[in-house]
């Protein structure tokens, strides 16, 4: 199971806003070794859509390809959707 979890590391996040504006796409990487809020952003927004109060407003998306961090400060009341496109790593099939 940890191998599957480790495979889901390369994300492309796009945030759609009320009125039609779009933020992104942002490349972001998540692994057990490298933090970042890419998964927390999606979890928090999902909880908000299910009726929970927004707890966080600032999220850091770490892009290891360009060695940058994207900081998003979002009011979920103005967000209409979040797309988290995940690229899976190829698995070695050797002996």
Q: What is the pLDDT of residues 15-54, one digit of tens each?
A: 999 999 999 999 998 766 666 788 899 999 999 999 999 9
pTM: 0.79
pLDDT-derived band at 10 (thresholds 50, 70, 90) equals confident
State the pLDDT at residue 94: 53
Rounded to an integer, what distance in angstroms lies between the CA atom of residue 26 and that of residue 47?
A: 22
Task: Tell me if 9 is assigned to some domain.
Answer: yes
Q: How many domains does the chain have?
A: 1
Q: For residue 94, is it within any domain?
A: no
Percent of the chain at pLDDT exceeding 70:
78
Answer whether residue 93 is part of any domain.
Answer: no
Q: Rounded to whole angstroms, how far apart are CA atoms 24 and 20? A: 13
92 in a structural domain = no
- Whether residue 42 is contained in a domain is answered as yes
55 is a domain residue: yes
Higher pLDDT, 25 or 95: 25
- Owning domain of residue 60: 2-87
14 belongs to a structural domain:
yes
Distance CA 69, CA 10 (A): 14
Which DSSP letter does residue 2 get? Answer: H
DSSP 20: S
Tell me how many degrees the CA angle 48-41-16 measures, rounded to the nearest 5. Answer: 80
């Amino acid at each position: 199971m940890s191998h599957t979890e480790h495979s889901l590391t390369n994300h492309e996040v796009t945030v759609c806003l009320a009125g039609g504006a779009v933020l992104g796409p942002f490349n972001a990487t998540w692994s057990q070794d490298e933090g970042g809020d890419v998964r927390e952003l999606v979890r928090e927004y999902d909880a908000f859509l299910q009726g929970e109060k927004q707890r966080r407003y600032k999220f850091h998306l770490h892009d290891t390809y360009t060695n940058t961090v994207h900081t998003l400060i979002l009011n979920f009341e103005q967000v209409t959707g979040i797309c988290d496109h995940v690229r899976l790593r190829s698995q070695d099939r050797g002996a």
